Amino acid sequence: MTTTTEIEVVDLAVTPLRELNQRLHDAKDGGPRAWRIVNPNGAHAIACGIDADLEVTIEGHTGYYAAGMNKHAHVTIDGNAGVGVAENIMSGRIDITGNASQACAATGRGGLVVVDGNASARCGISMKGVEIVVKGDIGHMSAFMAQSGALVVCGDAGDALGDSIYETHIYVRGSVKGLGADCIEKELKEFHREELGRLLEAAGADAKVDEFKRYGSARQLYTFNIDNAGAY
């Protein structure tokens, strides 16, 4: 027996954005589990604050803060995403088929964010557990004050990578223009190889673990105590 999933189609050319987001929030209590959003036309804050196991596809480019504060949902942006996409993501997954502007997944606490193209400056700034895979390049000041989680870059990284970093794991396949304060190249241990391999597979990235270098904290800029490592 074949089950057909009902897809709720919302046209933002005729439906107010506030109404769409409210309906996505209400889906926590039931209703369609698959959503297709058309004609986003670069609107800001599309599909923000979802707290339900939904499949949401946005067909087109989005403005600022798309899919912010996401919990549980899988949101696909079929296009480019503006500043702060997936900001403060808690769980779930965000896929961006194009490029991401500044501060992609900033302050994210969990979940997976995959960018098929490039991510601009400050990707993963202050990340707190989110896992990010960028198949292209990232801009300057990425992973600034990054506390935990993992940032995988299949291309090149801009200047000041990992400035003031805490315990986030950074993996870069290409070149690094410059490292930020207290960020150094570190050994790629077996644990890191397994983590990197898992993320590359999850993102569908065409890259091999052996092609990457790992970067992380020299632990000279903040008070580090191994007994509290799990808190970072």
Burial (CB count within 10 angstroms: exposed 0-12, middle 13-18, buried 19+), residue 53: middle
| Domain contains 111 | yes
Distance CA 11, CA 71 (A): 23
Whether 171 has a pLDDT exceeding 90, the answer reads yes
Alpha helix stretches (DSSP H) within the chain = 17-26, 190-203
pLDDT band at 230 (very low <50, low <70, confident <90, very high): low
Predicted confidence (pLDDT) at residue 176 exceeds the cutoff of 70: yes
For residue 79, the domain's CATH number is 2.160.20.60
- CA–CA separation, 106 and 86 (whole Å): 7
- What global pTM score does this model have? 0.94
pLDDT in tens, 115-165: 999 999 999 999 999 999 999 999 999 999 999 999 999 999 999 999 999
Q: How confident is the model at residue 221 (pLDDT cuts 50, 70, 90)?
A: confident
User: Averaged over 204-216, what is the pLDDT?
Assistant: 98
Domain that holds residue 143: 7-222
Tally of domains within the chain = 1
Residue 34 forms part of a structural domain: yes
